[in-house]
Structure 1
């Protein structure tokens, strides 16, 4: 049964509420959990479910996504038969209607679906943090005689859909006659001729669509129960491999209830935070309840609480940034923050 699924990841969705973190990347490439990107979770779930043919459909600004996934080697998808495919939207398609499973985007690459040998297609967004075996979904779909199945978590849709590849091709080719612009339209049409089913997922799953959602989901990873549910030895989450030295903890450093990635130089105190690769934290600095992305530099005697720093942010010595769990302070990639400008900039972001 594992060979019956074709994987399709929609990476074209843009979330305005994540704008500060999406200035240089699509949501699929948003760093998460210290060393991963959001797309790693759904892509790894597909691979762990035996899916060996995966297509990713981005719209624009996908250079960082291409750099991350490369040939798909880290997911064992660099194959001569099937493998990993990237199908960006053409410039003429950029302003058309969009949604998860956009048919006009798929229509430009219809040959891919015709060439695929898998009987069923799994369509998913790229921003759901999940680690699951999709074969259980396929078993229910077949057993219940469904035409289309949508995955839910606690009564809320996860934007994950399952249908026969032949039906998907029909929906793409006949979109002008039916008026369906994306897969979601089919589920919302109460008069559609298809048997529509719901699959309630019981494991951990969170859609990351806002700054607050990104921050809250990141902080949940510090709960060992959540971490062990999401990161399973039997179903590893794969990501791009980067060879970096272990992090260095200086005698004056202190780390409590935090995730620390490789390549860091740590001289300050870190509590309840996620520290990504290549971070430098100066002597006397205190980092609490924060998410610090790759290659940030934090000077000496700084205080950061409830802060999200995008990649390559430089925080000068003596800077104090205090946010709140419901409204974290966010600095975009490459920002430079000093003691004098921090209060004004903080107010602007809040």
Structure 2
């Protein structure tokens, strides 16, 4: 079975503030050396998908630099491969994507010319590990036209920020409520679609020219009683970084503090692939103290680091303290400085003796900030 993978990676989120001023949310650094998109892209590759289109739009430079030719994911190949699908100006006037359905519609060529029979659509903003082969088998066993991946969310999620799904005893979707104040269930849609390619093309051709630009709200839900739309329950770890700074911070802290999350994300159902950089191993001097933290390659640690994620090439000098923080690539924390409950973007400089301490929410320092 041949499947085309499409990753929606063009969105931004005002909830992420300075973290997405110069990058798409799909390019946000995660867990020491990864980017958000690495998880969905690796899931596809590990599930045997060898042709993937990434639909970009907002601030794509960082994302495109990270993806390159796709060689780290074994997608630099003659047949299939990685395709970066950006908006463009054509004779018909198309330019900015108006929604998820419009984005795919403007790139209909990748559907028409491909030999694939099915399409898997996911998001570059979601952090999870999944073998999509189980989803394929479920889809065929149900005789489904469209299968949506869902999850029963616990109390750590605010259901008002997610689409709530109501299903029958056979998991066929009866109703869908998009981000309502009082959701009827805690079964949420995770933004992953699986369907026949020709069905998708037919639905897009009949909807987008008439102004329906959202794949879920305008294309699928109005036909939910006509089509066999089923829910596939995912049982593993799943978070969406677009929900805000606290969600982004929680994801990284989950990776640091919860061994079950680390094992699931990085050791089960294949590897998570990412862009390789030529940094030496991390160096820890005699004065350093590191507890319960992730320290990536290229770092030099001479101070104290605790409950933190330290990305590549970070320098923590003697006497400096870093606690409960996310420190991105190239940042330097000088002697005696204190960083606590903070998120520092790339190439920041915290001078000797300075303090950066967050309160209820982590304080964020923009890229190349000097204090």
Output the TM-score relative to the length of structure 2.
0.86
Q: Tell me which residue corresponds to 1:90.
A: 88
Determine if contact 2:88/2:96 at 8 Å carries over to the other structure.
no
Match of 2:254 among 192, 208, 220: 220
Q: How does 1:331-342 map to 2 (within 5 A)?
A: 331-337=365-371
Determine if contact 2:129/2:269 at 8 Å carries over to the other structure.
no
Distance in 2, Cα, partners of 1:53 & 1:311: 32
Root-mean-square deviation (CA, aligned residues, Å) is 1.5
Specify whether residues 236 and 191 from structure 1 end up closer, same or farther in structure 2 by C-alpha distance, changes over 3 A only.
closer
Determine if contact 1:59/1:94 at 8 Å carries over to the other structure.
no
Distance in 2, Cα, partners of 1:266 & 1:7: 40
Match of 1:62 among 60, 63, 70: 60
Match of 2:194 among 162, 165, 173: 162
Q: Tell me which residue corresponds to 1:274.
A: 309
Distance in 2, Cα, partners of 1:323 & 1:254: 22
Distance in 2, Cα, partners of 1:194 & 1:322: 53
Distance in 2, Cα, partners of 1:45 & 1:131: 6
- For 1:59, what is the secondary structure of its paired residue? coil
Any stretches of 5+ residues in structure 2 without a counterpart?
153-186
Distance in 1, Cα, partners of 2:124 & 2:208: 27
Distance in 2, Cα, partners of 1:336 & 1:188: 49
Distance in 1, Cα, partners of 2:96 & 2:80: 30
Match of 1:245 among 262, 280, 300: 280
Q: Tell me which residue corresponds to 1:128.
A: 126
Provide the aligned length of Structure 1 versus Structure 2. Answer: 331
Distance in 2, Cα, partners of 1:49 & 1:15: 29
- For 1:20, what is the secondary structure of its paired residue? helix
Q: Tell me which residue corresponds to 2:230.
A: 197
Q: Tell me which residue corresponds to 1:341.
A: none
Specify whether residues 137 and 19 from structure 1 end up closer, same or farther in structure 2 by C-alpha distance, changes over 3 A only.
same
Cα deviation code 1:318-348 (max 9, x no counterpart) = 1112214x400101111111xxxxxxxxxxx
Deviation at 1:172, TM superposition (A): 1.9
Distance in 2, Cα, partners of 1:211 & 1:112: 34
Determine if contact 2:130/2:269 at 8 Å carries over to the other structure.
no
Residue 151 in structure 1 maps to residue 149 in structure 2 = yes
Any stretches of 5+ residues in structure 1 without a counterpart?
338-350
Specify whether residues 336 and 108 from structure 1 end up closer, same or farther in structure 2 by C-alpha distance, changes over 3 A only.
same
Q: How does 1:301-320 map to 2 (within 5 A)?
A: 301-320=336-355
Specify whether residues 260 and 96 from structure 1 end up closer, same or farther in structure 2 by C-alpha distance, changes over 3 A only.
closer
Residue 207 in structure 1 maps to residue 240 in structure 2 = yes
Deviation at 1:113, TM superposition (A): 0.3
Which consecutive segments of 4 or more residues in structure 1 shift more than 6 A? none
Deviation at 1:32, TM superposition (A): 0.7
Deviation at 1:188, TM superposition (A): 3.0
Determine if contact 1:60/1:88 at 8 Å carries over to the other structure.
no
- For 1:221, what is the secondary structure of its paired residue? helix
Specify whether residues 144 and 310 from structure 1 end up closer, same or farther in structure 2 by C-alpha distance, changes over 3 A only.
same
Distance in 2, Cα, partners of 1:16 & 1:149: 30
Match of 1:173 among 198, 205, 208: 205
Distance in 1, Cα, partners of 2:228 & 2:23: 37
Residue 262 in structure 1 maps to residue 293 in structure 2 = no
